[in-house]
Structure 1
Amino acid sequence: MPPGASAALVEALATGGAITGLRVRRFVPLARGPLGERLITVDQTNTSVVVGERVVVKWMRPVATPDRAPDLLAHLAAANFTRTPTPYAAVYRDEPDGGLAAVVTGFLPDAADGWDWCVDALLHQLDGGPPADLAGDLGALAAELHCALATPSEAIPAPVAVSHRDWAADGLAVLDQARRLVAAADDEDARWFTARVPRLAADIWRSREVDRAYVIQPHGDLHVGQVLRWRGGLAVTDFDGNPTLAAAAGGTLTEPAARDVAQLRTSLLHVGQIANRRTEGRHRPAVADWCRRGVDDLLAAYLRTLHERGMAHLFDERLLRPFEVEQECRELCYAARFLPRWRYAPMGVLRSWYD
């Protein structure tokens, strides 16, 4: 995107001016302000530009899947969910098959994502610093998000449905993909994983105990990296979804709330794996204890918040472990296809469960 394009877009949104070649869907009014541009340089799929240190313009790569983020942002704004960067607008290419061109949201000062602040907190604890008691806050935030997603709005009038889907079939298919991709490495991890496939399959199969589940449009890719810590606390971001968890036939992605919770909990375990690697395994018992307490605290805070808001029916705990096992298989598939150096994290989690 050429220099000045993001500032011009923000100014047009603030003043109501025309934007050549684009059409706009507005969510929250945007006031005029400074227009200096700064590119966000961290590795990401799309290109993000900070404008005036107050607005972020995320320029989207063209994709074949439906653009789910605008509907979810409009819905969360209508539900008065404020623990996300303020959604200002979605901008589409003004052409017959024009897809999402950009999403414009508020900028959160001093924000760091969970792969930084969660890992740093745990490393500080291991180095004698204060306890990294962060899991409860993550669980409460996830519950508040799900309650908002389950609240009717003009954008999504009927946000909760009942599904009789065969969750085990999906999970077993992911396990089979992981088995084939991991086996190709032909190393000790591959042999270990292959030998334990029957046990993983048995845990995934347990989801067949659930023949009826409430589903919502989930976050879809809820890991600690999507949780920003900034001056105002915690905020969840990036509703683009996980391309490995796509809706069937281009429809609307709906999942049990347990899907997001499973991914968030396993990402906390990945924080532990990262800490082990950075400390060369010197604190394995302490990290294992932190992980055990963390996933329990996260779930307890999540369930407590759901109950306080009258939404306890959204969560079926019987789906949690099957979805967690499936998630680690998805992580192995991702590592094999895109980021081989990441394999140690899900493999380490699986070894902690099945050794």
Structure 2
Amino acid sequence: MAGDGTTVQLVHALSAGGDPPEGHTVRRFHPLPAVEDTATERGFDVDQTNHSVVVDERVVVKWLTPPLALPQPAPEVFAHLTAVGFTATALPYAALTSRSPGGPEMLVALVTAYLPDARDGWEWCLDEAVAGRTAFAADLGRLAADLHVAMATPSPAFPGPVRTAGSGAGWAARAERALGEALALTGGEDGAWLAGRVETLSRAMEPLTRVSATPLIRIHGDLHVGQTLRWRDGYAVIDFDGNPTVSGADPFQPAARDLAQLGTSIEHVAQVAIKRREADPDETVRWASAARGMLLSAYRERLAARGGSALLDEALLGPFEIEQECRELIYAARHLPRWRYAPMGVLRGRFPGAVTTPSPFEENL
């Protein structure tokens, strides 16, 4: 797709205020910069499922491969963040959709700003781990807090952005299902380790059953360091497509779910540094603990400064972190087997004690 001129022609038409390709509809968020029909384009594949093209070093078009039936999270989140003035992201320009006769409307492409000198979080954060630097964590904490305050601000897209959950029973059931699926999909020595500690892991998630009421907002849904670019002008959070291991989940969730995933991703970076960069295990685990602590502290302080302290239910953090590690194991089993070492390293570090009584889940191994 990159190099055939299709992407340049699309961006040129949209920047000039023209019509999208026949059979397509465009939803605009911000005006595009002027782009000539002779502009350059190059491939820019940064994920495993879609295809992105950079046009004129200023615009990125992410072509959904294949297109996805609406509704999808990104267009609505783009509209909301635009309305409330949140700019710590790749500025959204447009969403391109299509509809065939008798078929559903499909999301074909997302058009955003290109961020110069941007580096993926799995790259820049790994460098921080190897160097032992932790100052970045405070920046990420403030970024996450700003995002959540923005998500909790009313807009035409989300007129009622804050809801209240009456009970955590549904979250507890979801977490137990994730644990059961992780056990079923994880074999070998790692599977045996999980089976031996299933009661311990279940107890760690048990506080979810005692939640009486907590605020719900439209969360990012897949917030990890890989979704935070470091670029020429700072940090940007990207990819509002939701968690790839969860289908049909309510997009309104506790803010703690995003924060838990972001915190555990720092621990995953430590595991990567140990395995891929031969970093000292003890020092790197201490680095992750310190960075995670700075992240949480900065998040709380920023949330309080912006009047949003009520958005964070601290009691949910620990259980959501364990559920997230289960989801990392599910992701590894389904999509990236070599990734399993990272969540297993985190879990082994958190629960090094004695093996517990085997559970009924063990029969799935």
Q: Distance in 2 between matches of 1:253 and 1:147?
A: 16
1:62 counterpart residue number: 67
Q: Distance in 1 between matches of 2:226 and 2:151?
A: 20
Q: Percent identity?
A: 51
The Cα offsets for residues 34-77 of structure 1, whole Å up to 9 and x where unpaired, read as 52111113443111000000000011122357311001011001
2:139 paired with 1:141? no
- Are the equivalent residues in 1 in contact too, given 2:201–2:322 (CA < 8 A)? yes
1:7 counterpart residue number: 8
Q: Of 333, 342, 345, which residue of structure 2 is paired with 1:345?
A: 342
SS of residue in 2 equivalent to 1:134: helix
1:174 counterpart residue number: 178
Q: 1:87 to 1:42 in 2, by over 3 A?
A: closer
- Structure 2 gaps, min length 5: 353-365
Q: Of 66, 75, 78, which residue of structure 1 is paired with 2:80?
A: 75
Q: Distance in 2 between matches of 1:65 and 1:97?
A: 7
Q: Of 128, 150, 170, which residue of structure 2 is paired with 1:121?
A: 128
SS of residue in 1 equivalent to 2:67: coil
Q: Distance in 2 between matches of 1:63 and 1:37?
A: 24
Q: Distance in 2 between matches of 1:124 and 1:276?
A: 12
- Are the equivalent residues in 1 in contact too, given 2:70–2:104 (CA < 8 A)? no
Structure 2 counterpart of 1:206, which letter?
P
SS of residue in 2 equivalent to 1:247: coil
Q: Distance in 2 between matches of 1:220 and 1:123?
A: 28
Q: Distance in 1 between matches of 2:183 and 2:247?
A: 21
1:28 counterpart residue number: 30
Structure 1 counterpart of 2:79, which letter?
A
Q: Distance in 1 between matches of 2:334 and 2:69?
A: 19
The alpha carbon displacement at 1:247 in A equals: 3.1
Which stretch of the first structure deviates more once superposed, 206-215 or 195-204?
A: 206-215
1:226-305 matched pairs, under 5 angstroms: 226-248=227-249, 252-280=250-278, 283-305=280-302
Q: Distance in 1 between matches of 2:45 and 2:257?
A: 30
The alpha carbon displacement at 1:124 in A equals: 2.8
2:333 counterpart residue number: 336
Which stretch of the first structure deviates more once superposed, 64-73 or 313-322?
A: 64-73
Q: Of 122, 147, 156, which residue of structure 1 is paired with 2:158?
A: 156
Structure 2 counterpart of 1:253, which letter?
P
- Are the equivalent residues in 1 in contact too, given 2:28–2:94 (CA < 8 A)? yes
Q: Distance in 1 between matches of 2:23 and 2:234?
A: 37
Q: Of 47, 54, 66, which residue of structure 2 is paired with 1:50?
A: 54
Structure 1 counterpart of 2:117, which letter?
D
Q: Distance in 1 between matches of 2:95 and 2:70?
A: 16
1:16 counterpart residue number: 17
Q: Distance in 2 between matches of 1:41 and 1:56?
A: 11
Q: Distance in 1 between matches of 2:350 and 2:283?
A: 17
- Are the equivalent residues in 2 in contact too, given 1:67–1:99 (CA < 8 A)? no
The alpha carbon displacement at 1:241 in A equals: 1.1
The alpha carbon displacement at 1:284 in A equals: 1.3
2:98 counterpart residue number: 93
2:361 counterpart residue number: none
TM norm structure 2: 0.91
SS of residue in 1 equivalent to 2:105: coil
User: How many equivalent pairs are there?
Assistant: 343
The Cα offsets for residues 136-190 of structure 1, whole Å up to 9 and x where unpaired, read as 11111000000001100111111111112421111011101111111xx2x2222
Q: Distance in 1 between matches of 2:303 and 2:262?
A: 16
Q: 1:43 to 1:153 in 2, by over 3 A?
A: closer
2:226 counterpart residue number: 225
Q: Distance in 2 between matches of 1:66 and 1:293?
A: 39
1:104 counterpart residue number: 111
2:38 paired with 1:37? no
SS of residue in 2 equivalent to 1:18: coil
2:318 counterpart residue number: 321
- Are the equivalent residues in 2 in contact too, given 1:144–1:306 (CA < 8 A)? yes
Structure 1 counterpart of 2:51, which letter?
T
- Are the equivalent residues in 2 in contact too, given 1:246–1:253 (CA < 8 A)? no
- Are the equivalent residues in 2 in contact too, given 1:75–1:155 (CA < 8 A)? yes
- Are the equivalent residues in 2 in contact too, given 1:220–1:245 (CA < 8 A)? no
- Are the equivalent residues in 1 in contact too, given 2:245–2:330 (CA < 8 A)? no
Structure 1 counterpart of 2:319, which letter?
P
1:128 counterpart residue number: none
- Are the equivalent residues in 2 in contact too, given 1:247–1:254 (CA < 8 A)? no
